[in-house]
Chain A
């Protein structure tokens, strides 16, 4: 069974204080690892997809990296508007229907303070 574990559960940062969020996963065969941002009462917003170990992607203050066992979401010089819950999900290799399925972690709730 595919599993995704995110840590920490919650993180408080001062504005400008860089940090990393962790996503550890176990999957029979990784098709893709996804990062989403979710604001309270809203649906997840797509950030990145990573497909193979060693891959990195960046978007503004965010950078996602991937190894064979985990992914990191690095936040550089965060601002209060980066406050949100960050979700990690994996998609396993499989048949068309099952291969589309995303298994989510419980997220890291990030709070960036002035």
Chain B
């Protein structure tokens, strides 16, 4: 149980384009999903917290107009990187907290974004 998927696993795009990443909880309902980014040999940095049916909460320094988050249902959250630039290239990972469960967060496999 507690499986989280992400799609796509890898994406390469041109500078200035937008990229959408999906995060799904496959076998449980998640009221809260989280989006992280991870640079090489660094730890996970929380970007935003996504609650189903409400606006996402962004961490300090994260541009909400650049990183659009939509938590459409209890099993799906999307992150759209708008007008991507090379400095947005990173490993993006989502996690989900199970409804009515304890505090564990279960992570997706990540999406490697490369902006040319």
Contacts and interface: CB of A to CB of B under 8 A. Distances in A.
Given A42-B110, A43-B110, A44-B93, A97 B104 contact: no
Nearest to A6: B43
A49 B104 contact: yes
Chain A contact surface mostly: strand
28 contacts: A34-B104, A36-B107, A41-B91, A41-B110, A42-B109, A42-B110, A43-B93, A43-B107, A43-B109, A43-B110, A44-B44, A46-B2, A49-B102, A49-B103, A87-B43, A87-B44, A97-B57, A100-B34, A100-B49, A100-B97, A100-B105, A101-B34, A101-B49, A102-B44, A102-B105, A103-B46, A104-B44, A107-B43
A61 B59 CA distance: 36
Contact of A91 (B44, B103, B106): B103
B51 interface: yes
B85 interface: no
Contacts of A91: 103
Contacts of A34: 104-105
Interface in B95-116: 95, 97, 102-110, 112
B75 interface: no
B93 A105 contact: no
A100 B32 contact: yes
B46 A102 contact: yes
**Interface size range of chain A in the complex:** 20 to 34
Interface of A: 31-32, 34, 36, 41-46, 49, 87, 91, 97, 100-107
